[in-house]
Amino acid sequence: MSEQTAQDAASDGAVDDVLLEDAVEAAAAERAEKLSTAPKADDGIAVPSLGALGMLRWTWRQLTSMRIALVLLFLLSLAAIPGSILPQQSIDPSKVLTFFQSHKTWAPILDKFQLFNVFESVWFEAIYGLLFISLIGCIVPRSWAHFKAMRANPPAAPRNLKRLPVHASFSTTADADEVLALAAKRLKDRRFKTVRGSDRSGGWVSSEKGFLRETGNLLFHLSLIGILAGVALGHFFGFKGAVLVTEGTGFSDTVTSYDSLTLGPGVGAQDLPNFSFVLNKFSATYQTSGDQFAQPRTFDAYVKFKPSPTSTAQNVDVQVNQPLSINGTNVFLEGHGYSPVVEVKDGKGRVLYDGPSTFLEQDEYFDSSGAIKAPAYTSGGTDLGFQGWFLPDAVIQSGAMPASIFPAAYNPMLILSAFSGNLNMNGGEDQSVYSLDTSAMKQLNVKAKGAAAAAGNALELKVGQTATLPNNLGSITFVGVKQWAQFNIAYDPGQKVVLPSAILAVLGLVGSLGLRRRRVWVRVSEQADGTRLVEVAGLARTEGATPTAEVTQTAQALAAAVRQPAPDGASA
């Protein structure tokens, strides 16, 4: 591969990639031939050391070839598919758990292949890792070649301009130098990189334009590296957490108050910002008619917020697209639901539990499920537990399970199964707050007379109602309804790198796909009749960019500018 070809090939986008590709392949083939042990026996000793190096070099060339990049791109798109179909640990861990419960054989096998964590799996990382190595291996030499190409002069004009795809000519009696100077000026004014020269057939101007195309191409690929670096930075120095807050309660930014918290390796608990807030009120409105009945329309979380322990509190309305922002840490409103407030007393009238319990929404009308745990007043006593449903707008039809018909709390109702026994809350194991461990409990017969048959053995309570438990075990009162809001709290310093990189990537793409690279030549030669023939010709260096108009206009402008009478009928 001569230097000229290498330089052109490396710097010329679509068309010349093929040349590069071919050259790389030829080189690889040549090398492979040399490496072959069969033909020459006397190379025997040298082969291993050469071989290792050669193999390495061969692998490198393969890896940085367009063909392998293409294969890796396909692999990357295929590898992403399972991540969208199977539940992912990083997106919704509870769904992964459900999947494990319902696919006892398959789930562990899929898990072995990290299919529940596709985007952090070894194989996904391997693919994009190789892709980025391939990209760097391709882009760095190309950047250098492009840098040299931008400094170098356009190549000399071809001898026969008529063979180019577009060619314009006229005859003139004007001086060759004058025409060439005019041509060079015109092309330079149009930001062509221009050079003059001469050979046996006469003087010429050679010019090229559209270097920004390759610049854009390189900028785009380099920006991808910037995006990757930003993502890594965010993972290392960022954190994200989630917290569920019920109306009237608050949150302070310490590790223990998060429901879940993922700290980057570069962040410690002491780095968490020390703000705090209290959820005063959560309000939601819903569509009340039509096709989109019950769809949410507004969410507002009214919080009292303190940026630091010493600062004064301020009232803020947090909405879905309006996060609360403190020094780069953002608090986002992520979800909401209901927390029925109940009071549970034991047989002696002592309060075992009084407060809100978080219930989780199960459908669009906010039929929510959850549990209420009331440990015995003295340890060793009888614990009481309830689990079941909260319906914000309950309708009871005979023969059907009571159900909610609207997400707003217009007619709240609790439907609870009651249990007594041991809640196992001191077992040391983490218990779900949304369900009871009934292994050491006995279900109580609490079926009320007027209750819906389909509800089964369950209490039905409206706000203000109290139910007495059998065997003098105590009572439960439905005191009222509160709402909870879930907040995501995130800090990602990588964004400062990712966003500018992404913007540069798009700009690079626009340049790389939108600009045309082309060459225009002007040649002036003496003719037999004493006049001079002026030829203008052009060549596209990128697909479908033949500069027909540019060549024609240059020829016309030159013809008009030389101001020398010329015999009509050019001898083109």
Partner 1 sequence: MSINENFAHYSNLFIALALVAYAAAFFAYCGEWAFGTSSRFGKSVEALDAEGKKVAKVGKQAAAPKAESVNATDGGNGVTVLTRAVAEDEEPTIAGDNLRAEILGRFAVMATFIGFGFHFAGVLFRGLAAHRVPWANMYEFSCAASLAMSFAYLTLLVLRKKVRWMGLPVTAIVLMTLGLAYTVLYTDAEELVPALHSYWLYIHVTAAVISTGAFGVATVATALYLLKSSNEEGSLRRFNSAFDRLPSSVALDRTAYRVIAFIFPLWTFAIMAGAVWAEKAWGRYWGWDPKETWSFIVWVVYAAYLHARATHGWKGKAAAYVALAAFACVLFNYFGVNTLLTGKHSYAGL
Determine the Cα–Cα distance for residues 529 and 543; give it in Å rounded to an integer. 39
Q: Which of 100, 237, 299, 302 binds partner 1 (CB under 8 A)?
A: 299
Cα 119 → chain centroid: 11
**Residue list 420-479, contact with partner 1 (CB under 8 A):** none
Coil, strand or helix at 559: helix
Q: Based on CB atoms, which residue is closest to partner 1, 340 or 547?
A: 547
Min separation Cβ 200 and partner 1, Å? 24
For residue 490, which phi and psi values (nearest 5 degrees)?
A: -140, 145
Tokens (6 digits) for 427: 């077992």
Q: Work out whether 21 is an interface residue with partner 1 (CB under 8 A).
A: yes
**Residue list 237-256, contact with partner 1 (CB under 8 A):** 240
**Residue list 217-236, contact with partner 1 (CB under 8 A):** 231
Min separation Cβ 320 and partner 1, Å? 4
Q: Based on CB atoms, which residue is closest to partner 1, 381 or 493?
A: 493
Q: Which residues of 138-170 are buried (b: 16+ CB within 10 A; e: fewer)?
A: bbeebbebbeebeeeebeebbeebeebebbbbb
For residue 14, which phi and psi values (nearest 5 degrees)?
A: -45, -60
Q: Which of 6, 15, 433, 473 binds partner 1 (CB under 8 A)?
A: 15
Q: Work out whether 56 is an interface residue with partner 1 (CB under 8 A).
A: no
Among residues 459, 432, 555, 483, the alpha carbon closest in space to that of 161 is found at 555
Q: Based on CB atoms, which residue is closest to partner 1, 92 or 526?
A: 92
Determine the Cα–Cα distance for residues 250 and 276; give it in Å rounded to an integer. 7
Min separation Cβ 241 and partner 1, Å? 10
Question: Which ranges in 161-210 belong to alpha helices (H)?
Answer: 176-189
Q: Based on CB atoms, which residue is closest to partner 1, 52 or 91?
A: 91
Among residues 332, 333, 387, 384, the alpha carbon closest in space to that of 359 is found at 387
Among residues 152, 142, 131, the alpha carbon closest in space to that of 219 is found at 142
For residues 74 to 113, the per-residue mask of contacts with partner 1, x marking binding by CB under 8 A and - elsewhere, is: x-xx--xx-xxx--x-xx----------------------
Min separation Cβ 530 and partner 1, Å? 16
Among residues 506, 502, 404, 400, the alpha carbon closest in space to that of 455 is found at 400
Of 167-175, 201-209, 403-411, 454-462, the segment contacting partner 1 by CB under 8 A is 167-175
Say if residues 338 and 408 touch (Cβ distance below 8 Å): no
Q: Based on CB atoms, which residue is closest to partner 1, 80 or 255?
A: 80
**Residue list 364-403, contact with partner 1 (CB under 8 A):** none
Min separation Cβ 291 and partner 1, Å? 4
Of 259-267, 315-323, 350-358, 420-428, the segment contacting partner 1 by CB under 8 A is 315-323
Min separation Cβ 145 and partner 1, Å? 16
Min separation Cβ 507 and partner 1, Å? 9
Q: Based on CB atoms, which residue is closest to partner 1, 235 or 424?
A: 235
Determine the Cα–Cα distance for residues 255 and 262; give it in Å rounded to an integer. 10
Min separation Cβ 287 and partner 1, Å? 6
**Residue list 317-336, contact with partner 1 (CB under 8 A):** 319-321, 323, 330, 332, 334
**Residue list 113-142, contact with partner 1 (CB under 8 A):** 118-119
Min separation Cβ 318 and partner 1, Å? 11
Q: Based on CB atoms, which residue is closest to partner 1, 330 or 424?
A: 330
Q: Based on CB atoms, which residue is closest to partner 1, 361 or 437?
A: 361
Q: Looking at residue 416, what DSSP letter applies?
A: E
Q: Based on CB atoms, which residue is closest to partner 1, 198 or 548?
A: 548
Q: Based on CB atoms, which residue is closest to partner 1, 444 or 489?
A: 489
For residues 259 to 298, the per-residue mask of contacts with partner 1, x marking binding by CB under 8 A and - elsewhere, is: ----------------------------x--xxx--xxxx
Of 56-64, 152-160, 389-397, 499-507, the segment contacting partner 1 by CB under 8 A is 499-507
Q: Based on CB atoms, which residue is closest to partner 1, 283 or 431?
A: 283
Q: Work out whether 186 is an interface residue with partner 1 (CB under 8 A).
A: no
Listed as own residue / partner, the contacts of 443-451 with beta carbons closer than 8 Å and 24 or more positions apart are: 443/417, 443/418, 443/419, 444/418, 444/419, 444/420, 444/469, 444/470, 444/471, 444/473, 445/470, 446/417, 446/418, 446/470
Q: Based on CB atoms, which residue is closest to partner 1, 438 or 548?
A: 548
Helix (H) or strand (E) holding 333: strand 329-346
**Residue list 504-563, contact with partner 1 (CB under 8 A):** 505-506, 509-510, 513-514, 543-544, 546, 548, 551-552, 555-556, 558-560, 562-563
Q: Kindly give, in sequence order, each residue whose CB lies less than 8 Å from that of residue 171, ignoring residues fewer than 6 positions away.
A: 527, 531, 532, 533, 534, 566, 567, 570, 571
Min separation Cβ 460 and partner 1, Å? 32
No. of helices (H) and no. of strands (E), the chain: 11, 24
Question: Which ranges in 373-476 belong to alpha helices (H)?
Answer: none
Tokens (6 digits) for 523: 């040649």
Listed as own residue / partner, the contacts of 103-112 with beta carbons closer than 8 Å and 24 or more positions apart are: 110/86
Among residues 398, 403, 442, 447, the alpha carbon closest in space to that of 419 is found at 442
Q: Based on CB atoms, which residue is closest to partner 1, 164 or 415?
A: 164
CA angle 480, 486, 492 (to 5 degrees): 165
Q: Which of 148, 159, 162, 462 binds partner 1 (CB under 8 A)?
A: 162
Of 144-152, 207-215, 408-416, 485-493, the segment contacting partner 1 by CB under 8 A is 485-493
Say if residues 521 and 207 touch (Cβ distance below 8 Å): yes
Say if residues 161 and 533 touch (Cβ distance below 8 Å): no
Min separation Cβ 442 and partner 1, Å? 38
Size of the site for partner 1 (CB under 8 A): 88
Q: Based on CB atoms, which residue is closest to partner 1, 461 or 562?
A: 562
